Amino acid sequence: MPPMCNNMRRLPLLRHVSMFTTRNLCCLHHRLLACSFAILPGPRCVSTAVIQHVQDLSGPEQRLLSRLYEGLIGGQRASLAESITLVETQHPRKKELAQVLLQRVLAYRREKEKSNGGRPLAFRVGLSGPPGAGKSSFIEVVGKMLTGRGHKLSVLTVDPSSCTTGGSLMGDKTRMTELSRDMNAFIRPSPTSGTLGGVTRTTNEAIVLCEGAGYDIVLVETVGVGQSEFAVADMVDMFVLLIPPAGGDELQVKGIIERADLVVVTKSDGDLVVPARRIQAEYTSALKLLRRQSKSWNPRVVRASSYTSEGIPEVWAKMESYRDTILSSGELQARRRAQQKVWMWSLIQESVLSHFQMHPAVREALPALEERVTRGAISPGLAADLLLKTFTTS
């Protein structure tokens, strides 16, 4: 018996991951082992972690995962949508199944990238801007242009307000109506529950699924509020900021401008051309004062109109030029590697914090300590030390 089959006995999860497709079982298993070993310190840790993570898959679970995986890599939109629903779930067992599916898709993606000469399967672009900046109009026009050129485009939306309120900052209005009817475009709105951390995690995972389903351009759109833009900037290859020529709240774009690889002044048509030019000049000067994020790319400011389509092909040309530049300099790959680490740590932070906040002894001690801190009776540092001690000792 070859050594990998022995490993298969020791690693139930991997056996089940392999079993949910009958095609090329041993080869897949070998690949999964290889990729798992590549990301974890050693075989012992891999087997322990994986075995502990997912118990045996039942027959129906195997069939579900098999159906989703085959449908997904076959490019079926329904399977992609169902797979994203699976990664968004709060149900503990389904969460585990989602991880099995993701590992499979990751292994598939790695193989495809290898046969693609190491070139990433998709270009990930983050789009942000204050409400009303013209994001959905822009995505609609750019999206239709791209699908017309033979690309497959997915649009994922991150709207943190929908998590806390169940409603959305973007409202219930139908956005990107034409693009949503385009068979080469896949539009997925933000989940309406969970924390920002949870939503950004599932968005990261949805990106992987979209790439597995053959979408070569993934746009991640976020509304211009709070931390969501920074989270999105940390999960894409390129971050594009959309600014309207009038009525744009300077404060809203103040911090995030530093992360922009491209700034697009929108609505540059009719009477708005003059203010759009002024804003373009202002942001061009402002960007010169900022520290460069990339060794090989200087952020640019361009103007475009979704009404007339003027400037739209040029915006995409800039985006392609950015992608080619950072791909050939190796920055794209380095950026993705760094993002993986950032994400791992942000997930750990969120999880540890939630364990801390849910801990019974911490919950019991918290109100009194908070009260003493706000009264000035003890310092915040001492209160934090006491709570941490409670957490670690009880």
Ligand X SMILES: Nc1nc2c(ncn2[C@@H]2O[C@H](COP(=O)(O)OP(=O)(O)OP(=O)(O)O)[C@@H](O)[C@H]2O)c(=O)[nH]1
| Interface ranges with ligand X (CB under 6 A) | 129, 131-137, 170, 175, 223, 266-267, 269, 272, 305-307
- Residue 330 phi, psi dihedral angles, 5° rounding: 85, 0
Report CA-CA distances (Å) from 336 to 41, 82, 157, 326: 20, 26, 20, 11
**18 versus 136: smaller Cβ distance to ligand X:** 136
For ligand X, the closer of residues 296 and 308 by Cβ is 308
Rounded distance, CA 189 to CA 156, Å? 6
User: Could you tell me the smallest distance in angstroms from the CB atom of residue 134 to ligand X?
Assistant: 4
Between 120 and 160, whose beta carbon lies closer to ligand X? 160
How many whole angstroms separate alpha carbon 122 and alpha carbon 124? 6
Could you tell me which of 81, 343, 154, 133 has the C-alpha nearest to residue 233? 343
Minimum Å gap between C-beta 220 and ligand X is 14
Tokens encoding 44: 């012992």
* Beta-bridge partner residues of 222: 128, 158
Min dist. Cβ of residue 305 to ligand X (A): 4
Q: What is the rounded distance in angstroms from the CA atom of residue 286 to the CA atom of residue 164?
A: 34
Count of H-run helices and E-run strands, the chain = 17, 7
Question: What's the closest the beta carbon of residue 239 comes to ligand X, in angstroms?
Answer: 16
Instruction: Tell the smallest beta-carbon distance from residue 347 to ligand X (Å).
Output: 28
Minimum distance from residue 253 beta carbon to ligand X (Å): 13
Q: Which is nearer to ligand X, 121 or 304 (CB)?
A: 304
> Nearest distance from residue 170's CB to ligand X, in Å?
4
- Whose Cβ is closer to ligand X: residue 71's or residue 131's? 131
Residues 6+ apart with CB under 8 A from 75: 152, 213, 214
Nearer to ligand X, 189 or 198 (CB): 189
Q: How close are the terminal C-alpha atoms of the chain, in Å? A: 49
Radius of gyration of the chain (CA): 23
The pairs formed by 30-35 with CB atoms below 8 angstroms and a separation of 24 or more are: 30/4, 31/107, 31/110, 31/111, 32/103, 32/104, 32/107, 33/4, 33/7, 35/103, 35/106, 35/107, 35/110
Using the minimum distance from each CB to ligand X, give the nearer residue, 134 or 191: 134
CB of 230 or CB of 307, closer to ligand X: 307
CB of 23 to ligand X, least distance (A): 42
